[in-house]
């Protein structure tokens, strides 16, 4: 039985690969996808989501979500990483799709689902916090929220020394989500920085030469140059969001500990830090399965194989 998922996203170069992975994986059924501001403004992330859905032939409802964090106005993305348009300048055809309001869509999809629903949040969690606030009883029906976000021990931050970007961008929304009570899996920088994928791993995909191969080669090239050049694995870059998607249907691809997590949202130097209570010093009950290790080879092989299969499928449909 495929796992019902909703993807909340700020596409976004690694978001695009993550949505491709989900579309290529029979283990999941995408009920819908919602866009949020993050990697770049909603004026780009929302149409990017529609364009990616068109490319993949995903006939699912799409939502247009939060244009900015709940309250913060000082958190801004590094426009170099994903480009001003969010996809490193890669030109996909404009979409004719209409996006509906994201938060009512989240509520409708959860209420209408005949199976438990997992939300995979791979951008700032502003939409999730709004959903929790406006539809608390429906939100409690969500089986699990798998986030790409945070840092626990080995790698704390990429937006600041102590904060990962998705949490940094809207720390108040993240604090509300961790406080709400729905089970959370945190796929943070500790594991995504081990999930490095480069052209050496994607040679089979690139040789396939179809629409996925062309787009992935182009956008990961931009991503690598902008944010991750100098890895010891030549052009390998962290495919943060794809690991969150993989963990949603292959939970044992990561090793987790059940711990209490809260988010610093007022610190002068530490705002956006996911504070992980390894020693139980707060006395608070654990609220999160924190990923601390990853089966890197299994993940890289999964991503490369699924994208290659997807490329072949779309070539046949063309
Ligand atoms: O820190 C990595 C996260 O921030 C990823 O989700 C990436 O897409 C950006 O949103
Ligand atoms: Ca993202």
> Model confidence over 26-81: pLDDT tens digits?
999 999 999 999 999 999 999 999 999 999 999 999 999 999 999 999 998 878 88
Ligand 1 atom nearest residue 82's Cα = 8
Residue 283 alpha carbon to ligand 2 centre in Å: 32
Alpha-carbon distances, residue 229 vs 119, 192, 267 (angstroms): 31, 16, 30
- What pLDDT, in 10s, does the model give residues 76-112? 887 888 999 999 999 999 999 999 999 999 999 999 9
Secondary structure of 203-245 in the HEC alphabet? HHHHHHCCHHHHHHHHHHHHHHHHHCCCECCECCEECHHHHHH
- Chain Cα centroid distance, residue 92: 20
Are 213 and 206 contacting, i.e. CB atoms less than 8 angstroms apart?
A: yes
Percentage of the chain with pLDDT > 70? 97
Domain boundaries, the chain: 3-317
> Closest residue (by CA) to atom 10 of ligand 1?
123
> Which residues have their alpha-adjacent CB atom under 5 A from ion ligand 2?
10, 12, 15, 122-123, 241
Thinking of the domain 3-317, which architecture would CATH place it in?
Alpha-Beta Complex (3.90)
Tokens of 84: 């001003």
Q: Phi and psi dihedrals of 198, rounded to 5?
A: -135, -175
Residue to probe by mutation, ligand 1, list 11, 14, 44, most atoms within 8 Å of CB? 14
Query: Using alpha carbons only, what angle is made at residue 291 by residues 308 and 169, rounded to the nearest 5 degrees?
Result: 85
Q: Which pLDDT band, with edges at 50, 70 and 90, does 289 fall under?
A: very high
Residues in contact with ligand 1 (CB, 6 Å cut-off): 10, 12, 14-15, 38-39, 122-123, 148, 158, 164-166, 240-241
Position 233 scores a pLDDT of: 53
The catalytic residues are 240
What's the mean per-residue pLDDT of the chain? Answer: 95
Q: Which pLDDT band, with edges at 50, 70 and 90, does 302 fall under?
A: very high
Phi-psi region of 88 (alpha: psi -120 to 50; beta: other; left: phi over 0): left
Alpha-carbon distances, residue 303 vs 2, 31, 197, 210, 246 (angstroms): 18, 21, 9, 16, 8
Would you tell me the crossing angle of helices 240-249 and 296-317 to the nearest 10 degrees?
90
Would you tell me the crossing angle of helices 42-56 and 296-317 to the nearest 10 degrees?
70
- Find all residues with CB under 8 Å of 236, minimum gap 6, and list them: 196, 197, 198, 200, 201, 224, 228
Tokens of 105: 């869509």
Q: Between 33 and 229, name the one with better pLDDT.
A: 33
Ligand 1 atom nearest residue 124's Cα = 10
Q: Does the structure show a pLDDT above 60 at 8?
A: yes
């Amino acid at each position: 039985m495929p796992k019902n998922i909703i993807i909340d996203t700020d596409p976004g170069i690694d978001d695009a690969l993550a949505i491709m992975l989900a579309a290529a994986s029979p283990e999941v059924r995408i009920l819908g996808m919602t866009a949020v501001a993050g990697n770049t403004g909603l004026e780009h992330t929302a149409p990017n989501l529609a364009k990616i859905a068109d490319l993949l032939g995903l006939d699912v409802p799409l939502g247009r979500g939060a244009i900015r964090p709940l309250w913060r106005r000082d958190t801004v993305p590094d426009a170099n990483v994903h480009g001003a348009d969010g996809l490193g300048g890669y030109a996909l055809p404009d979409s004719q799709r209409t996006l509906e309001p994201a938060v009512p869509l989240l509520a409708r999809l959860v209420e209408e689902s005949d199976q438990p629903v997992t939300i995979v949040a791979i951008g700032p969690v502003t939409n999730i916090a709004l959903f929790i606030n406006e539809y608390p009883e429906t939100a409690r029906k969500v089986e699990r929220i798998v986030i790409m976000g945070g840092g626990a021990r080995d790698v704390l931050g990429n937006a600041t020394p102590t904060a990962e970007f998705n949490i940094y961008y809207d720390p108040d929304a993240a604090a509300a989500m961790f406080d709400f009570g729905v089970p959370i899996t945190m796929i943070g920088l500790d594991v995504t920085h081990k999930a490095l994928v480069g052209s050496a791993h994607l040679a089979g995909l690139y040789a396939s030469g179809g629409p996925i191969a062309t787009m992935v080669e182009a956008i990961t090239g931009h991503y690598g140059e902008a944010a991750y050049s100098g890895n010891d694995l030549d052009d390998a870059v962290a495919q943060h969001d794809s690991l969150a998607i993989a963990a949603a249907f292959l939970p044992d691809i990561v090793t987790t500990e059940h711990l209490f997590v809260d988010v610093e949202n007022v610190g002068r130097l530490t705002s956006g830090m996911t504070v992980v209570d390894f020693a139980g010093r707060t006395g608070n009950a654990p609220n999160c399965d924190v990923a601390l290790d990853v089966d890197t080879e299994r993940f890289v092989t999964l991503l490369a194989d699924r994208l290659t299969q997807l490329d072949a499928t779309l070539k046949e449909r063309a």
